[in-house]
Chains A and B, each alone.
Chain A
Amino acid sequence: EAQVTQNPRYLITVTGKKLTVTCSQNMNHEYMSWYRQDPGLGLRQIYYSMNVEVTDKGDVPEGYKVSRKEKRNFPLILESPSPNQTSLYFCASRFSGQGVNQPQHFGDGTRLSIL
């Protein structure tokens, strides 16, 4: 089954403790992206990747890191989490190329609480 898998689904942690949210897709998509969703703000893009070893900042990259060493995986790293990063996070992927006009496929989300 074609899917985007995020782990963990839920995490409660404390300020400053490094964490990684994993994202994996099995559709051979070149493009992958991370979003955060906050009430009243919709989805905001954190980072995206056009392909292996190619990443770029979205609208809200501060406090986050990503890496794309393999095509299928795109982990989101919070080196020193803070309470303002408490949010619902989504990973998404699609076939790449501007003008390709392909929809994104989303994971089920990771709910992070930073105390």
Chain B
Amino acid sequence: SQQGEEDPQALSIQEGENATMNCSYKTSINNLQWYRQNSGRGLVHLILIRSNEREKHSGRLRVTLDTSKKSSSLLITASRAADTASYFCATDPDSGTYKYIFGTGTRLKVLA
């Protein structure tokens, strides 16, 4: 099955620094979504970017999408210890199916 890939797999930064994580995917998409997961808990939706958008902001989050390279990035600015979590990208394929494809996730640790 096709799966998105995220890098890095793990990231450790100091509080106040910016965190950038990347997602690559394989199919054409309707949209790409980023989710956060605190340890062992459910996923929480952060931001959705449509295939015809290139950049989107939400608070301290900035997402970019490059459909020609089939890649997206999530930037968290001025990180806080509470941002410590795993981050996943998910694509909504433009394939006539309704299957979501999730990346393998980036584990972010923000040190106080």
Which residues of A line the B interface, CB within 8 A?
Answer: 4, 31, 33, 35, 40-45, 48, 50, 56, 58-60, 88, 90, 92, 96, 98-99, 101-109, 111
What total of chain B residues lie within 8 Å of the partner, measured CB to CB? 29
Tell whether, in the assembled complex, residue B100 and residue A106 are in contact, meaning their CB atoms are under 8 Å apart: no
**B71 interfacial contact with A, CB 8 Å:** no
Which residues of chain B have a CB within 8 Å of any CB of chain A? 1, 3-4, 30-31, 33, 35, 40-45, 48, 50, 88, 90, 92, 94, 96-105
B30 touches A99 (CB 8 A): yes
Cβ–Cβ contact B99 & A45, under 8 A: yes
Contact (Cβ within 8 A) B104 A109:
no
Whole-angstrom CA separation of A44 from B35 in the bound complex: 14
In the complex, which of the residues B41, B45, B90 contacts A105, with contact meaning CB atoms closer than 8 Å? B45
When the two chains form the complex, which single residue of B40, B50, B92, B98 contacts A109, counting CB atoms closer than 8 Å?
B40
Known contacts A104-B90, A106-B42; 13 further A-B pairs (Cβ under 8 A)? A31-B98, A41-B3, A42-B104, A43-B43, A43-B102, A44-B3, A59-B1, A90-B43, A98-B30, A98-B92, A104-B33, A106-B35, A106-B43
Residue among A59, A90, A102, A107 making CB contact with B99, cutoff 8 Å:
A59
Q: Which residues of B contact A48 (CB under 8 A)?
A: 98-99
Interface centre among B4, B45, B103 (most CB of A within 10 A): B45
A108 touches B41 (CB 8 A): yes
Residues of A within 8 A of B100 (CB): 33, 45, 104
